[in-house]
Structure 1
Amino acid sequence: MLGRTLLAVTALTAALVIPSAAPDADAAALAAATLINESDGRTLSFPVGQEIKVRLQAVRRNGEMWTWSTPAVSATDVLDRTAGRTTPNGGAAADIRVAGPGRSYITAQRTCTSTRQGHQCGSASREWRVTVDAH
């Protein structure tokens, strides 16, 4: 009898504790996700309502300056870009909200400019792309 009582109390305690943890878990899941240069090529899954921040940094190396275009989305019914801009130093940023279920791509173009006289860029541009599966 004592064993069943303890089991019932334990089950009741677990039932009361688990639901109170769920809202915190939901809030953590919906915290803004940040995508950076190194996010290129990834496929990510986000729930509707998720906020996504894209923060791309310009790259300087070997006589080249790689700058970014403003990030864009391919399906506006899935991803809603609420803000987008390029920065004076060649970077780019966008704020995006997952608006509905489906698949969309976030893309930006990286363009090369020579910063050393006589140097030519190996390729003029390259696409940065992240696939978002929204649910």
Structure 2
Amino acid sequence: MVLTTGYGSVAVPAKRVTLTNPDSGRSVEASVGDSIEVRLTGYRDGVRVYTWDVPQPSDSAVLRRTAGGTTPSGGASAVFHVQRSGVARINVVRKCHPDPGHICPLIIVPWKATIGVK
């Protein structure tokens, strides 16, 4: 992004915002050209593994995912490029996977962050 004044142009570097497990429900202000990175960690709780899906944008015209994947330990990550003004959410779900002979609670845990772009 370039800001102009009566005396010339000043380049404003794009910023990168990183969001992790505790950032669920967070609202972030961003500018066109910025990057939003989501890094979520899965975990084992006794006989269950809790894993994340790959994070998705609610509006790919505002946030375009440029990278994303999951890890064998249940983590997930994604990088989003901020493309235009608007509001978009990043959504992902954590799921339980039990060891053989065990069960999981019937709970799906959503994670989301709201990105407001000026």
TM over 0.5: yes
Structure number with the higher helix fraction is 1
Q: Tell me which stretches of 4 or more aligned residues in structure 1 moved more than 6 Å.
A: none
Q: Of 97, 110, 115, which residue of structure 2 is paired with 1:127?
A: 110
The answer as to whether partners of 1:51 and 1:96 remain within 8 angstroms in 2 is yes
Higher-Rg structure is: 1
Q: Which residue of 2 aligns with 1:60?
A: 44
TM-score norm. by structure 2 comes to: 0.82
Structure number with the higher strand fraction is 2
Q: Which residue of 1 aligns with 2:3?
A: none
Structure 1: distance between partners of 2:98 and 2:107 = 10
Structure 1: gaps of 5 or more residues? 1-21
Q: Which residue of 2 aligns with 1:110?
A: 94
1:18-76, CA deviations, whole angstroms, 9 ceiling, x for partnerless residues? Answer: xxxx75xx43xx33111111110111111111111111110222432110001000101
Q: Which residue of 2 aligns with 1:5?
A: none
Residue-pair matches, total = 109
Identity of aligned residues (%): 34
Amino acid at match of 2:23: S
Structure 2: distance between partners of 1:113 and 1:103 = 33
The answer as to whether partners of 1:64 and 1:116 remain within 8 angstroms in 2 is no
The answer as to whether partners of 1:70 and 1:108 remain within 8 angstroms in 2 is yes
Superposition RMSD on alpha carbons, in Å?
1.8
The answer as to whether partners of 1:35 and 1:55 remain within 8 angstroms in 2 is yes
